[in-house]
Each structure stands twice: as C-alpha cells, then as structure tokens.
Structure 1
Amino acid sequence: MPRRRGLTVRSIARGALALLLVGAGASHLTWGRRGYRIVVPGWATRMLHTDKDAIVVASGAVEVLLGTALVTLPRERRRIGAVIAAFFVAVFPGNVHQWRTGRSAPGLNTDRARFIRLFLQVPLVAWAWWATRER
C-alpha cells in the first residue's frame, strides 16, 4: 500500500501529543517545578534513592525529549509511542498519590480536578499508542 503524504488525523494527533509533552516538560523544569515537587510520593524518593526535585526535573526532561523525538525521529515513531504510553503508565501512581493526599499542583488545586485527572491517564495512553501506529 502506498504511503500517504500530508496531514492526517494521526499526524495532527502526534503533533498535538508532542506539544503536550514538551509543554508539560517545560512546566516541570520551570514555573511548575516547585508545585510538582510537593506531589511526588515519598516512596518514589526512597525507591529511586534521590530527592523530589530530581524526580521532577528528570520527568520534565523525559517529557521534553519524548515530545521532541516524536516529531524528529519518524522512523522510530512506533517505539517512541510505546515509550510514551509506558511513561504515562509509570507516572500514574504519582497521580493516585496526589489525589489521595489532596496535594495541589499547577492546574490541579481541587479534589475534583485531581480525581478527574486520574481518568485522563487512560486516554493519554491510548492517544500515544494510536497516534504512533501509522507509518
């Protein structure tokens, strides 16, 4: 089957996902950094033998790298999509911790917002997977 050129729904979804990742990563590295530190679970620092700030910085750097890779490495698109989906799964326990403890982070300063955020993780994983399946 010949390869399609131009904009497709999937290519637009990939671009939007890349923007989301780079934007989220930038917020972890700059203006939102302090807010994200307060929601990192204590067990994560013990498990990773580091502090909360290092986890926030690392997750922000990973988000920026994944978003950038998604648009600059088209031949690796499927693998990058799988890694993005896995990343969204990996950060889910932190989202649960934030909801259970009622800790606020940028944009998540109510119990309702933190609860709704939990249900957004599944569409994020599906988005990453679906948007990167087209070759």
Structure 2
Amino acid sequence: MKTNKVQAVFRVILGAFMILAAIGHMTFQRGEFQAQVPNWVPLSKDLVVILSGIVELILGLAMIFWVKQEVKVGMALALFYVLIFPGNIAQYTNEIDAFGLDTDRKRLIRLFFQPVLILWALWSTGALRYLFGKKETNG
C-alpha cells in the first residue's frame, strides 16, 4: 500500500515520538510512567515500564525504517495504543498526577488524545486505507 509524502513525514514524526517516549520510559520519565501502570497489573510497575519502553523503541524504529511493512507496523502501533489505554484511564480514575496532568480535567482531556494517536498510526502507514478500502499488500 503506497503512502504519500505527507503520510510518510507524519509516520516518521510518530516514530520519533515513540523513540523519545521509549527513552523516557527507561530514563528520565520512568517514575511518571510507573504512575500510569494500573494497580491490577500483576507485575512490578518498573518492569511494565521497562518492557513497554522496549516495545515503544521497537515500534518507533519500525515506523521509521521498516517501510516495506508499514501497514503491519501501523496496525501493531495502533494495537499498542489500545493496550496501554487502561493506564491512561487508571491515571484519570485514581487521580494520579504525572506528566503535568495534575487535575481531573487535564487527565480527562488526555483520554481523548488516545484515539488521535491510533488514527495517526493507521493513517500515516496506509493501514487505515488497507482496513477500510482497497486491500493491497505492501511487501
């Protein structure tokens, strides 16, 4: 599935954001990310943050460099965003301050950005068109 230059630019930007988030998971924002891990997750919060950081790094690099499989990478990233959404919900429902989200209103507004990220991942890789339109493969 061919994407245009605008989609490619947005794909690379999203990949770069994912790499930056991965670095934050493993270094300077580790505590903030731990605050988003729901209490019901049966692993240590630090382990979850490290593992999700590794996944983010892989997905970020794939968004930038694995162009031949961009539709699959876009779907994988969208799925990742769906899987981490309970952490955002937990941050809101448990009134946890992290990432400058120090009011219920800010935490609630943050919830509405997750669908934007999902759509960004799907659109910028051609996965949205693949899922809802012409089903040609890209590699």
Q: TM-score, normalised by structure 1?
A: 0.87
1:35 pairs with one of 32, 52, 57? 32
CA shift, 1:71, in A, is 1.3
1:52 is matched with which residue? 45
2:126 is matched with which residue? 133
* 1:88 is the counterpart of 2:81: yes
Which whole-Å CA distance do the structure 1 matches of 2:12 and 2:100 have between them? 22
CA shift, 1:31, in A, is 0.6
Gaps of 5+ in 1: none
- Partner of 1:39: helix, strand, or coil? coil
What amino acid is aligned across from residue 105 of structure 1 in structure 2?
A: A
8 Å contact from structure 1 (residues 39, 104) kept in 2: no
Which whole-Å CA distance do the structure 2 matches of 1:68 and 1:16 have between them? 11
1:9 is matched with which residue? 6
1:24 is matched with which residue? 21
Gaps of 5+ in 2: 128-137
Bigger shift: residues 87-96 or 111-120:
111-120
CA shift, 1:70, in A, is 1.2
- Partner of 2:102: helix, strand, or coil? coil
1:123 is matched with which residue? 116
Residues 30-57 of structure 1 deviation map (CA, whole Å, 9 limit, x = unaligned): 111012212211111x2xxx21100011
CA shift, 1:128, in A, is 0.3
Q: What is the aligned residue count?
A: 127
Which whole-Å CA distance do the structure 1 matches of 2:70 and 2:33 have between them? 29
Which whole-Å CA distance do the structure 2 matches of 1:113 and 1:81 have between them? 27
1:102 is matched with which residue? 95
Which whole-Å CA distance do the structure 2 matches of 1:105 and 1:22 have between them? 20
How many percent identity over aligned positions? Answer: 36
8 Å contact from structure 2 (residues 85, 114) kept in 1: yes
CA shift, 1:109, in A, is 2.6
RMSD of Structure 2 on Structure 1 (CA): 1.7
Which whole-Å CA distance do the structure 2 matches of 1:101 and 1:93 have between them? 12
